[in-house]
Structure formats: C-alpha cells, structure tokens
Structure 1
Amino acid sequence: MLAFVVFVLLGTSDVVKVEPDGVGRWRMTITASDETDPLRLAERLRPAAANLCGAKGFYFDHYTFTLDQQVLERQSSAKQSDKMTLVQDVVCASLPAVATEPLPAPPLTEAETLALNARLEALTTGYFSALDEGRYADAFVTADDAMTGGATLSDWSEQQKRFQASAGAVTERRIGRLTWYSNPPNAPFGHYGAVDYVASRALQDECGYLIWYRPSADAALRLIRQETTLLPHNLPAETRDTLRKAHCILL
C-alpha cells in the first residue's frame, strides 16, 4: 500500500508530502520559508490537489499550521528565514452546498391581505366543516406537526372525538377577526394569520383562535395552532366581559 508521496511543485522549491486519509481524502503537508499566511500557502496546493482528484473536483477541508520563527541571538548573526508548515486536508468531491439562512417574509400589501383573508376564511371553514362532519383525515392534512404534536391520524382523531363528546355538537359558529403578522419576534420568519371564532355547542359554548402559517409568499398555509376555551351556557355577564377583554373577542 502507498504510504505517502513526496513531490516538488513545478516552478517552486516547495516540497509537498501527500498521504491518503480515507476514501477520497488526502492530507497534504507543505513547508515554506517565504510565506507566513496559511491561506496563501494553501493556494500553492491547488495544482497538486487538482492532479490527485481529477474529474471529481476537490475542496479544502480542515487545516493546521505551525510557524517556526527564528530569533536573532547575536547582533552580528544573520537572521534565518521563518518557516511555516501547513497540513491541509483535501476532499475529492464537489464542495457541499451551504444552507442559506432564511430571509424575512416581505410585508403584506393591502391587496395581498384582502386576497389572503379570503383564503384564510376558506381554509378555516373547511377545517371546521371536516371536524363537525367527522372527516378527521381531511382536517388532519391541513395541520402541521406543531399543531398535532406529532400524533398519528388515529390518535388525533380520538382526541377530536373526545372533545366533541364533552362539548357537544355545534349549533352555530362565527368566524370573526382576521389578523396578519409578518415575521413576529421569537418565531420563524413568515406570515401568520390569526382567526378568532366562537361557537355554540349542545353542551357548552366555545371560543378560541386558529393560527395559520406560511414561511414565504409562495408556500401553502398550514395550521400550526388552535387554542380553545369551553364555557358554560349560563356564563355570568361579568365573566363573559372579562373573557371578551382577554381573548374571546366575539362573546
């Protein structure tokens, strides 16, 4: 097995040692007395790396370096040149794509908001209709894992059935205020549509809100949150007023 290769770079006096470092990987060592910048010294290795890797291409991975600085001991002595030794890992492959940081979603114009409101109402109506009619799979596909908690369709459906049993069938539901937020703090970039609603049920009343989300203007809206409060039919007026001021705006 080839342990290492030593050769001299054309046009220079640089000696390079090349050692295999795994499949498709090489470790190149170069020492120079006319360069003390490791990045510039690494550039001298490119022709040798290209020759080693051929059509696969290459990129430089991790590196280490040492700088041997000569100290003038006597005033009459001539100072020898400093020497830098660079150990550079080379990978024979295309450079991996670097994930780009997500950008903030652009603010919504008035026209975009109006168009999105229609979409928001349609999605919300469809979601509630699917729940009311027991079409849990249709409701489930609109929700994100953040909404379902990673539950399976079967488990999530059972949760909805238990809720329906405790609250009773819907006799009336009103969708109220629609509010849009662009890139709110402490949340992933994107557009967030909040839908406030109230519902009368056979056993209890309900108020709450949905949050729909899209990370960018060309992405689909997904349901990421639902907050629900169940209330007795004979809720005192004072309590109703307190809830209205807090979050049940349609009461």
Structure 2
Amino acid sequence: MSLLLFALTAALQADPQIVVEADGHDAWRLTITAKDETDPLRLAERLRPRAAELCGVAGYHFGRYTFDLEQTVAKGSTEVKNGALTVVQNLTCGPATSVVEPAAAPVLSEADTAALNPRLTALSDSYFDALDKGRFAEAFAMVDEKMTGGATLENWTARVLAQRETIGATTERQIGRLTWYSNPSGAPAGHYGAVDYVASHALQDECGYLIWYRPTPDAHLRLIRQEATFLPHHMDEALRATMRQAHCIIL
C-alpha cells in the first residue's frame, strides 16, 4: 500500500461510524453503523461524502452491499425493537460499467419445480449441516458474492461464529415450504428458489428463509440471501408461540 493510500485510509477510519478498507485497485469496502436508521439504502447515502473524498475527480459508483439490523424483543412483550443498522457497501472509483442483463429464463412449470425441489432441499440441508459442524469453507463456497458483499472467508466465518455465541448450538432444524419464482420483476432474470425453515438453538429459536438463484437452467444454484428472526428462550411459552406465529412460518 502506498504512503498516500495508507494515510488516506487511516484518516477516514478515524471516524468511529465509518470503517474504510482497501479492496483492490481503486476499490474500497465501506462499513457504516447507525442507531437512527432502519433503511439500508438511506444509510448508504451517508457514505457518499467519504466516497467522493476517496475517489476525487475520478468519480465513483456503489456496487453490492450487505446489511445487518439488530432486533430485540423485550421480556413480556411482542414488540420488536430495532437497534443498530450496519451497512457494508462496495465502492469503485471511476464511472460505472454498463451491465448486460441476462435473457429471461424459461418459466418453470409445476413439473419443473417438483423435479427441482429435492435438489433445493439437499442444497439447503448441506449448507446448514456445514454451518452446524464448523465446515465454514464448504458453506462459504455455496454462497454468492451478492450475499457476502465481497467478504473474505475469514471475515464471513468470524460473523458466523459471533452469531453462534448469541444463539448457541443448534439442536433441531426443519425445512418447510419451498417456493419457486421465474424472472421476478425488479430482479435479474433467472430462477429463484425460496426455502422457509425453523430451527431451535441452545439459547434462541430461529425462523427464516434462504433464496437460491440460477440465471439459466444449466447454471448451478447459488445462495444469494438469508433472512432470519431469532426468539430468545427467556420468553415464556405463550409469548414465544405468539411471536412465532407473528414472525415465522407455521409448518
């Protein structure tokens, strides 16, 4: 790293709300955390002054991003309270390159989805099994960069381990509904397989879904998204049942 690049990185990292990491030539990864915002796109807008400082007259464009929103449920309440929101935003200096959108994939029939469902279930089981048994490189290999935001295996594993400290070891997991979408509006063309699931851990219960994606029928399915809700075990049984019905699928 050049002396100028090092000095610029150090100066920007002095801001406790924003962390700046070099991510290759004229590329950066910006991380911002705030407690007064719940929309990741609005929070990412606060990164623009830093992006302009980094890239100067060359200009810049934002790429992929990931976000994490802390949510808590107070004991004896069903109200979900939002905490800190963290956005990790990829930044590249220079004008954005044009992206050629893929052609629409063939619309899946009921017979197609019935044939694909065993593969979708097997992939999800393999992903969860790798996470539960600490085979993090194997799980990471199944995840698309759209979901990791360009994180390294080391950084991604650290986030997984931190979460495991909070929820405890997995005691049970069950896959529920499988749903397929062909070329949904507002998303890149292709096939999307949604997998709803519930799980029990030593300290919390979990419910959520995975999204697997392939641009064409001959492409491999890759994990592009995971959303989860966690219910701490300190809730009484009646309250946990209410929360589960409000925020989780019912198998």
Band of TM-score, shorter chain: 0.5 to 0.7
- When the two structures are superposed, what TM-score results if normalisation uses the length of structure 1? 0.57
What does residue 120 of structure 1 align with?
120
Check the 8 A contact 1:197/1:250 in 2, yes or no. no
Check the 8 A contact 2:197/2:208 in 1, yes or no. yes
Q: Which has the higher contact order (CA 8 A, sep 6+)?
A: 2
What secondary structure is seen at the aligned counterpart in 2 of 1:249? coil
| Structure 1 stretches of 4+ moved >2 Å | 99-102, 233-246
Q: Distance in 2 between matches of 1:204 and 1:131?
A: 16
Counting helix residues as a fraction of each chain, which structure ranks higher? 2
Q: Between Structure 1 and Structure 2, how many residues are aligned?
A: 152
What secondary structure is seen at the aligned counterpart in 2 of 1:224? strand
What secondary structure is seen at the aligned counterpart in 1 of 2:217? coil
Q: Distance in 2 between matches of 1:111 and 1:119?
A: 14
Q: Distance in 2 between matches of 1:235 and 1:223?
A: 34
What does residue 225 of structure 1 align with?
225
Identity within the alignment, %: 61
Query: Structure 1 residues 160, 101: CA separation in 2 closer, same or farther (over 3 Å shift)?
Result: closer
What does residue 65 of structure 2 align with?
none
Q: Distance in 1 between matches of 2:137 and 2:178?
A: 25
Q: Alpha-carbon deviation of 1:242? A: 5.3
What does residue 84 of structure 1 align with?
none
Check the 8 A contact 1:147/1:224 in 2, yes or no. yes
What secondary structure is seen at the aligned counterpart in 2 of 1:211? strand
Query: Structure 1 residues 153, 218: CA separation in 2 closer, same or farther (over 3 Å shift)?
Result: same
Q: Distance in 1 between matches of 2:236 and 2:142?
A: 33
Matching of residues 97-176 of structure 1 within 5 Å: 102-176=102-176
Unaligned runs of 5+ in 1: 1-98
What does residue 244 of structure 1 align with?
245
Unaligned runs of 5+ in 2: 1-98
What does residue 17 of structure 1 align with?
none
Q: Alpha-carbon deviation of 1:102? A: 2.2
What secondary structure is seen at the aligned counterpart in 2 of 1:223? strand
Query: Structure 1 residues 238, 185: CA separation in 2 closer, same or farther (over 3 Å shift)?
Result: farther
Query: Structure 1 residues 158, 101: CA separation in 2 closer, same or farther (over 3 Å shift)?
Result: closer
Bigger radius of gyration, 1 or 2? 1
Q: Alpha-carbon deviation of 1:135? A: 0.3
The letter for the 1-side match of 2:150 is: G
Q: Alpha-carbon deviation of 1:103? A: 1.5
Q: Alpha-carbon deviation of 1:250? A: 3.0
The letter for the 1-side match of 2:200 is: S
Q: Alpha-carbon deviation of 1:148? A: 1.0
What does residue 205 of structure 1 align with?
205
Matching of residues 17-166 of structure 1 within 5 Å: 102-166=102-166
Q: Deviation per CA, 1:8-67, whole angstroms, max 9, x where unpaired?
A: xxxxxxxxxxxxxxxxxxxxxxxxxxxxxxxxxxxxxxxxxxxxxxxxxxxxxxxxxxxx
- When the two structures are superposed, what TM-score results if normalisation uses the length of structure 2? 0.57
CA RMSD of aligned residues (A): 1.8
Q: Alpha-carbon deviation of 1:111? A: 2.0
Q: Alpha-carbon deviation of 1:238? A: 5.5
